[in-house]
Each structure stands twice: as C-alpha cells, then as structure tokens.
Amino acid sequence: MSKSGLPLIGVVACNQQLGLHPFNIVGEKYLLSVVNGAKGFPIILPSLGRDFPTADILARLDGILFTGSPSNVEPHHYQGPASAEGTHHDPKRDATTLPLIKAAIDAGIPILGICRGFQEMNVVFGGSLHQKLHEVGHYIEHREDKTASLDVQYGLSHKISIVSGGLLHDAWGCDTAEVNSVHTQGVDRLGQGLQPEAYAPDGLIEAFSVANAKNFALGVQWHPEWKVQDNAFYTSIFNAFGQACRLYAAQQER
C-alpha cells in the first residue's frame, strides 16, 4: 500500500504496434475505474512476456486488474482451432497474463478480470472459448454495434441472473442486474475450479469466481469499468475488489 493509504493495483497493458514502434497501452477507463471505483492507485503493468519479473512485482502490489482488449487469447493456449484470418492477437500479453493470473491467485492477491481478462482466467484453469458466439447458433447477439456511439455500444444490453451465495451476489445483494455486452468470444468449456457467478439469458456464463482462492478472484464478461460511478451495480463490483485490496495490503509487511 502507498504511504497515502491507497492500495496499489496493477493494471495489465496490451502490447500493440503503433506506427513503427511497439507500445504498451492501457485504456484510461480502466485506470479511472481503479481510482474512482476501487479507490486505489493504478500501476500500469507492461506485457513483457518472459521479461516480466512476476515475483518481484507481486511483492509490491495489493491487487491486479486484468483488462479487456481488442485482441483475443491465441487459441493454441486452449487447444482451439486456428483463428480466422485477421483476428487480432497479442502473444506478449498472453505470455505475461497467463502465468501472472496463476501466480497472483496462488499468492492470495485479489484479482478482477474483465472481458479478455475473464477469458484469460478461464484459459488458465483449463477452459476453452467460443471464438465467434454469433456463429454457434443458440446465443443472443453479444456484439456491440461498432457504428454506434460509445454510450450506445457500452449501454445496458441484457439482464444477468446472479448466483446466490457467490462473490457477485455478496457484492450486489440482488439476484439480477443489467449489463453491457461488447464481446465476440465467450466461455465454451468452463475451467476446472471456477464457480459460475452469473448467466446471460441464453445460458452463457457471464461471471465466475475461483472456488478455492485465498482472496477475491472474480472474472466478468461485461465491462463494469465503463462510467463506473454512474452504475450502482458496476460500483458494487469495484467496491468489493477495492476492499479486498485494502484488506490484503493491511495484512502485508513491506
């Protein structure tokens, strides 16, 4: 924890080529959700792959947010078929986040996975992904209208049913909520040791927790970081995450 008492929360960056150079970038909405939702201070974690000093970094953090991204986990990580031509991948992020998720959970560090981060968590636990939900046949449309404004794209799209007794239900206190829907991929086979926390109307798993985690470990398919202060449900998620980070920090001697 910082001297100000703010928990230090790592926010995973994407490795992207911008012009002639590779950059590590994080959407500002994720940084602001840590500040305004979790009441912590964000530390950007670059996706360096094998050069990422996992143990040293974990010793300095009170929580980690695994962000969404335009990129998808490379399917060889879950023995899936090759992606369609033109699919955006980020192998350096895969090489960073997949080991980091496991290490953070083993260390008891609170984590929150959003969209790609949720999918990464499923893959880490041996799960698989539908690469194109809209082609499976029995799912509702989960993709956003990319021609619409951001407020429409990230606007409320469908209800979810929340499992009683889980992390999400404890945070929100209700059996249902409304969420946005900005994703093409989704859970096919749920990873071992993951506990469903919420379902879409079509039965798609929209949230899960790590059943035997030492601390808060939640993944959500939607984007609660979007204008987190304007949505009581989204705020409740980040409040619970931030509280777990503060409790973890208070237990550490640094």
> What's the CA gap between 151 and 91, in Å, rounded?
30
Burial track 194-208 (b if 16+ CB lie within 10 A, e otherwise)? bbbbbbbeeebbbbb
Q: DSSP letters of 38-50? A: S-SEEEEE---GG
> What's the CA gap between 23 and 176, in Å, rounded?
39
Specify whether the CB–CB gap between 215 and 248 falls below 8 A: yes
Which pair of tokens denotes residue 146? Answer: 């990319």
144: Cα within 13 Å, side-chain hemisphere: 19
Q: pLDDT value at position 138? A: 86
> What's the CA gap between 178 and 206, in Å, rounded?
11
Report domain extents, the chain. 8-251
Specify whether the CB–CB gap between 168 and 175 falls below 8 A: no
For 196-217, what is each residue's pLDDT tens digit?
Answer: 999 999 999 999 999 999 999 9
Active site residues: 115, 223, 225
Q: pLDDT value at position 254? A: 55
Q: Does pLDDT of 1 surpass 80?
A: no
Mean pLDDT of the region 86-91: 93
For 22-55, what is each residue's pLDDT tens digit?
Answer: 999 999 999 999 999 999 999 999 999 999 999 9
Which pair of tokens denotes residue 199? Answer: 């379902």
Cβ count near 240 (within 10 Å): 21
Q: Give CATH superfamily name and number for 8-251.
A: Class I glutamine amidotransferase (GATase) domain (3.40.50.880)
pLDDT band for position 5 (cuts 50, 70, 90)? confident
For 123-154, what is each residue's pLDDT tens digit?
Answer: 999 999 999 998 888 899 898 988 999 999 99
Tokens 């949720």 found at = 118
